[in-house]
Amino acid sequence: MMAPGMLYGGASNFDGVFSQKQRNMYSSTTATAAKEHLGPLFAPACSSSSFLGSSSMVSFRGVNGGKRPFFDSFDQEDNEADEFGEYFHQAEKKRRLTDNQVQFLEKSFGEENKLEPERKVQLAKELGLQPRQIAIWFQNRRARWKTKQLEKDYDELRNRYDILKSNYNNLLKEKEDLTAEVFQLTDKLLVKEKGNGQLALCVVQKHSDASGKETVADPISRVELSNVSAAQVLKQQQQPEDLSSGKSDIFDSESPHYTGGGHSTFIDQDDSAYVLETEQSELSQDDDEKFSKTILSTANQLGKCDDDDFPVTSTNLSYFGFPVEDQGFGFWTY
């Protein structure tokens, strides 16, 4: 790919003399071919300042144990002959910049990572390098900086993600704990109600108004559940379809309050029963509202047994097991 001999004193010296296209064109030819084409242009490049610039590219790490300061390269009197020899011996090799040259460039890069033409020439002079070498070094340095920056950004994002994930997991755990506590308290409440010889059971049916919008659930019945355990109630919650089809353990034909047919029984704490029509068509809008208020009021009264700060609303009714999404009948107790 790269022509031997083009590394130093070849393509580098095109800088400031040829356009990039010309640079590319010539850099893809051999050094010999280039010399044939350019002729005299190579002469100044291999002599005086240009040559010195090239000679300073020799890696003194390898040549001189890596300790030779780059300013030594300006010590023309002492080194010119050696460098001249080195140049011809190592012209075909790629040579690294000295530690001091790199240090100098790093410092300059730290001040400003873009290179204006004046600064490029100035740095080239100070370091005894070709302006093009300075430009290449800055370009490569910017690429390295960008890579490092990307790694840094990635690490930072990763850390933030880990923190957020940890917070999320903590919240999830907290939610589970709170849910478990709610169930525990609910169970306690049921036991308490049971101890009083009464347990309220609400059968809720969801309605839709004319526009299809869901409205507040209605209480259909309320029965005495003195001998129904919380576990049974929960089981009922999980199988509401059985209830609507008359398969309920609670509302079967053997239940003391089974009324059969299309009617459900509503029994208040005085054991006085109301017979309510379950057919939606037979319930007026006023009835809907009345029932809604009744169920919310009842639920709130039950809720007050343990927590006054959590009033039951049509919104959170479902949290207590009152469905606002399911169609048809269902049993919920609390």
Give the footprint of DNA on this chain (CB under 7 A). Answer: 1-2, 4, 6-8, 10-12, 19-21, 23-24, 27-28, 57, 59, 61-62, 90, 93-97, 102, 114-115, 117, 132-133, 135-137, 139-140, 142-144, 146
Given a contact cutoff of 8 angstroms between Cβ atoms, the answer to whether 325 and 244 are in contact is: no
Q: Report the residue number, 117 or 195, with the smaller CB distance to DNA.
A: 117
CB neighbourhood size of 224 (10 A): 20
Give φ, ψ of 326 to 5 degrees: -70, 150
Q: Report the residue number, 62 or 260, with the smaller CB distance to DNA.
A: 62
The pairing of beta strand 218-219 with beta strand 263-267: unpaired
Rounded to a whole number of angstroms, the minimum distance from the CB of residue 157 to DNA is 19
Calculate the CA dihedral of residues 250, 251, 255, 259 and round it to 10 degrees: 160
Q: Report the residue number, 115 or 317, with the smaller CB distance to DNA.
A: 115
Distance, CA of 12 to CA of 23 (rounded, Å): 9
Distance, CA of 301 to CA of 298 (rounded, Å): 5
Return the DSSP state at 93. Answer: S
CB neighbourhood size of 334 (10 A): 24
Nearest to 103 by CA among 73, 127, 125, 82: 127
Rounded to a whole number of angstroms, the minimum distance from the CB of residue 166 to DNA is 31
Distance, CA of 37 to CA of 23 (rounded, Å): 13
Q: Report the residue number, 11 or 276, with the smaller CB distance to DNA.
A: 11
Rounded to a whole number of angstroms, the minimum distance from the CB of residue 130 to DNA is 8
Q: Report the residue number, 140 or 269, with the smaller CB distance to DNA.
A: 140
Rounded to a whole number of angstroms, the minimum distance from the CB of residue 77 to DNA is 25
Rounded to a whole number of angstroms, the minimum distance from the CB of residue 33 to DNA is 12
Rg of the chain, C-alpha, whole Å: 45
Q: Report the residue number, 41 or 135, with the smaller CB distance to DNA.
A: 135
Rounded to a whole number of angstroms, the minimum distance from the CB of residue 137 to DNA is 6
